[in-house]
Structure 1
Amino acid sequence: METQVLSRQQAFALGYSDKQIKARIRRGEWEHVRRGVYVDGPAWRAMDALGRHRVSIQAVRLTLNDDAVVSHISAAILHGWDSWRVPLDTVTVTREPPQHPRREAGVDHHVATLAADEVVEIRGMRVTSPERTMVDVARSYAFEQAVVLCDGALRSGAALGRALELYLRQSQWPGARHALPAIEFADGGSESVGESRLRVLCHRHGLPRPILQAPIYGLDGCVIARGDLLFEDERTLVEFDGKLKYGRGARFDVDPREVLFKEKRREDAIREEAGLEVVRVVWSDLDSPDHTAARLRAAFARAHARHHRAA
């Protein structure tokens, strides 16, 4: 449920006096999230950074003129994309000339002329389109952060061809030089932040580009599994286990031991019937990229040796 944001003028219209507003803030019932804008206090204090950013976007839209369009990382958040290690303490908007770029009062103001098809509406707010947002964030962040966002864009239905078209219009803009690699590398088949970061890890270590969400076939020709990252020529399947399948992320009505047993049988079938090596990567492995890349190369070597023994 979206948290209601209330401006000072709206509070007056509802019958609150200035004294009552101050009393609610003092008691913690309301939180002052922006000058002249309030939100439910307990709800605000319970929010994570992402939730607070969403509320801050609503607060900013109450205080800016209608020409401001939510853009960049703030637009990505409203589109529902995943992000990783991107600061969320500043709301980002794009405004039409002759406004000037500036950062003030927790708002980063960009200036650009937006075409009609580069703006959409989300919950009553004008927001840059998915493809425009994809290019903006690719220009704004380092490769790994940009790939996570761009994967999320494509996963949500953004059109890569349209994004590349918009990129060409911005090819001389700040940050454009490093935006293109992230856009071209993006893949909507990546289902999570962890899978996106794992793909970046493989890329940086010169490993082949894997097939994402690949069907794995058994001896009878039927699909026995769907793999996160399949290195087809290397006969290796890499599973990213960032979803806590056996812990708090598991269903409460399923015995974790039963889940673990079924997963082991699944991996055995992949090895025995599909002839693939299986490597499981978890979140902590992403913080040891050299070691993780070495594990994958070792799996490639084992698969190669096993294939030649069988031949």
Structure 2
Amino acid sequence: MESRVVAAVARTGGLTTTADLVRAGIEPRFIARLVRTGRLVAVRRGVYTTDELWTAWDEHRARPMARVRAAELCIAVAHVSSHDSAALAHELPLLRPQESAVHISRLDMRGTRVQNGVEHHGARFAPDEVTVVDGLRVLDIPRTVADLAREHGYLAGLVAADGAMQRGVSRAQLQEAAARMEGWPFSRTVKQVLDNADPGAESVGETLARDLADESGLGPIETQFPVRTPRGVAWVDLRIGRHLVEFDGRVKYRSVEEGGLRDGDLERMLWDERRRQDEICRGGFGMTRLVYADFWGDRRDDARIRLVREQAASTARYGTELSPEMQEFADRVRGRRHRVVG
């Protein structure tokens, strides 16, 4: 890549425009050739990055965020980033971040329209709902959670609300933002989301697992339950009576070099996971393990049936109530954890 192009991209934090490149002395015909040969990647019309940077950016966060920032370079009207774009800036979880559109909210229009690949929302927002993240003016987290629920529905809203509460946003703060939207389209969906949000969900998969269990009619559902094992405390994603549910995300088994969390031999890790499950269940629990594919299409029905069947088997074997020792241990460990976190 020519040094002038690399320098122009570096000066602007990874994105550059046609005008920036021309000012750097690069002819439009040469810019077109770089794009045609794949040396420059058009993030949107007239905004580029290098192929090296684009390849390095992951498709779930960095690339969608680059599209937001690219649009920001081209939008002339007064606005704030909102919805999916605000969620990306705040690093809130999204169901399908790689598919997220660029969203802005404006005070000078009504309704919603798509313009040059950007969704423009005419909506009221107060000055105290606007914040700045890495130089980008965005709506704050409580407002963004409500916008996502209204725009994309219950499940997308639940994922975002769980993520917000996991980061320390209170239910009261979320409810305050929702109250400002009383009577707006789909405001009831927001209320339902906030009624069911749980800060114990530490990932999108854990939220989806809880939603599946809830849809199956199982309950009450407890998140982040501690179990005593020979190797110490094991924190389990969900507890339903004497049945436990664990979500296995692909990132856990992908190597660090591939962007995952596994640092070592895969076979050894799988063996350790099996041993961990045996140690957890030895104390008087059954367990269901779920993966991301279990939450969609025909596999969702199969997973729901399996979960109900396996939970019923655990109930038949162990009952539903925790022993006094189990409950005392859980209360004591939770209290210690909360003191450390707080």
Alpha-carbon distance in structure 1 between the residues aligned to 2:229 and 2:50: 55
Match of 2:249 in 1: 242
More helix by share: 2
Pair 1:256–1:11, CA change in 2 (3 A): closer
Alpha-carbon distance in structure 1 between the residues aligned to 2:318 and 2:305: 20
Letter in 2 for 1:28: G
Letter in 1 for 2:245: V
The SS at the match of 2:114 is: strand
The SS at the match of 1:199 is: helix
Q: CA deviation at 1:306?
A: 2.5
The percent identity for this pair of structures is: 32
Match of 1:122 in 2: 133
Structure 1: runs of 5+ lacking an equivalent: none
Match of 2:145 in 1: 134
The SS at the match of 1:93 is: strand
Q: Which moved more, 1:184-193 or 1:22-31?
A: 22-31
Correspondent of 1:282 among 278, 285, 291: 291
Correspondent of 2:179 among 168, 181, 184: 168
Q: Do the aligned residues in 2 keep the contact of 1:151 with 1:187 (CA within 8 Å)?
A: yes
Alpha-carbon distance in structure 2 between the residues aligned to 1:243 and 1:32: 30
Q: CA deviation at 1:75?
A: 0.8
Correspondent of 2:217 among 206, 223, 246: 206
Pair 1:209–1:9, CA change in 2 (3 A): farther
Match of 1:300 in 2: 311
* Cα RMSD after superposing both structures: 2.9
Q: CA deviation at 1:133?
A: 0.5
Structure 2: runs of 5+ lacking an equivalent: 1-9, 324-342
The two structures have a TM-score, normalised by structure 2, of 0.78
Alpha-carbon distance in structure 2 between the residues aligned to 1:67 and 1:204: 42
Q: Do the aligned residues in 1 keep the contact of 2:149 with 2:155 (CA within 8 Å)?
A: no
Q: Do the aligned residues in 2 keep the contact of 1:224 with 1:270 (CA within 8 Å)?
A: no
Determine whether 1:7 maps to 2:14: no
Pair 1:27–1:202, CA change in 2 (3 A): same
1:139-158 matched pairs, under 5 angstroms: 139-158=150-169
Pair 1:37–1:286, CA change in 2 (3 A): closer
The SS at the match of 1:239 is: strand
Correspondent of 2:49 among 19, 39, 51: 39
Q: Do the aligned residues in 1 keep the contact of 2:245 with 2:287 (CA within 8 Å)?
A: yes
Alpha-carbon distance in structure 2 between the residues aligned to 1:187 and 1:179: 14
Match of 1:28 in 2: 38
Pair 1:267–1:32, CA change in 2 (3 A): closer
The SS at the match of 1:63 is: coil
Correspondent of 2:198 among 175, 182, 187: 187
Alpha-carbon distance in structure 1 between the residues aligned to 2:153 and 2:123: 22
The SS at the match of 2:282 is: helix
Letter in 2 for 1:7: T
Pair 1:282–1:35, CA change in 2 (3 A): closer
